[in-house]
A and B are shown apart, each in its own frame.
Chain A
Amino acid sequence: GAGVSQSPRYKVAKRGQDVALRCDPISGHVSLFWYQQALGQGPEFLTYFQNEAQLDKSGLPSDRFFAERPEGSVSTLKIQRTQQEDSAVYLCASSLVPPGLRGTQYFGPGTRLLVL
C-alpha cells in the first residue's frame, strides 16, 4: 500500500511568513510523529499524536510551532512567523500501534523548508 506522504516537498518562505506542512500517514496507523532534521544532523523529535490526541509536544522549539491531527489521520504542522533557524527538513512518521507495543515508525520523504 501507499506509504507516508508529505506535502509540499519543498517550501521557500520569507522570514515572518506562516507555513503549513501536511502529513498523510499510512491508513489505519494510530501513532504519528513529527521530527525536524537540520542540515548535517539527525532528526529531532518535535511532537507525537495517538489518534487525534497530542500526547507529547515537548520537542516543539517555540510557541510558533503548532501541530494538529483533528480526525486522527492527516496531520498539519504549522509554523508561524518563520525565522531563518526554522530552515530544515520536517519529517513525519507513522506507526500502526502505540509506542508501547513496539510499533515500527515509517517515515515520509520530508518537507524541505527554506526560510529566506
Chain B
Amino acid sequence: AQSVTQLDSQVPVFEEAPVELRCNYSSSVSVYLFWYVQYPNQGLQLLLKYLSGSTLVESINGFEAEFNKSQTSFHLRKPSVHISDTAEYFCAVSGVNYGGSQGNLIFGKGTKLSVKP
C-alpha cells in the first residue's frame, strides 16, 4: 500500500518569490509520482509526472519536481510565482507493481498556494 503526506496545508507567498510545496510518500513497491493542480471552481489538472528516467521533471508553466528515492520525496518548486498560480496542489502516487488491475492514484490532502501581490 502507498500513502502520501503533504505537510503544509497552506502556503502563502508574495508574487515573484520562490516556493516549494513538500510531498513525501511511503510505499513497499516502486511508484509513479504526480502533481495535480486544482484552480478555483475547476477540476484537477495534471501538472507534471515522474514515471522513469530523469528524476527532475518540469511543467510548461515553470514548475519542477525532483524524485528523491532515498528521501521518498517529490517536492514541487517554482523559482518565481505569479498571482495566477494561486490554486490547490495535490501530490499523488501510483504503485508500479499493483498486479495490473489497479493503478489508482493515492492523493495527499493538498496544499493551498496563495500568491499575494
- A contact set with B: CB distance below 8 Å: 3-4, 31, 33, 35, 40-45, 48, 50, 55-56, 59, 91, 93, 98-100, 102-110
Contact = CB atoms under 8 A, between A and B. Distances in A.
A100 B100 contact: yes
Given A41-B109, A42-B110, A56 B46 contact: no
Interface of B: 4, 6, 32, 36, 42-46, 49, 51, 90, 92, 94, 98, 100-110
A99 B110 CA distance: 23
B101 A44 contact: no
A43 B44 contact: yes
Contacts of B104: 33, 35, 45, 48, 56, 59, 99
B45 A42 contact: no
Nearest to A105: B105
Contact of A98 (B43, B45, B46, B100): B100
A109 B44 CA distance: 7
Contacts of A110: 43
Contacts of B110: 41-42
Contacts of B51: 102
B6, B44, B45, B98: which has the most chain A beta carbons within 10 Å? B44
Contacts of A42: 4, 6, 90, 92, 107-110
B101 A109 contact: no
Given A33-B104, A35-B104, 16 more contacts: A35-B105, A40-B109, A41-B110, A42-B108, A42-B109, A43-B90, A43-B105, A45-B104, A48-B104, A50-B101, A56-B102, A93-B44, A102-B51, A106-B46, A107-B36, A109-B42
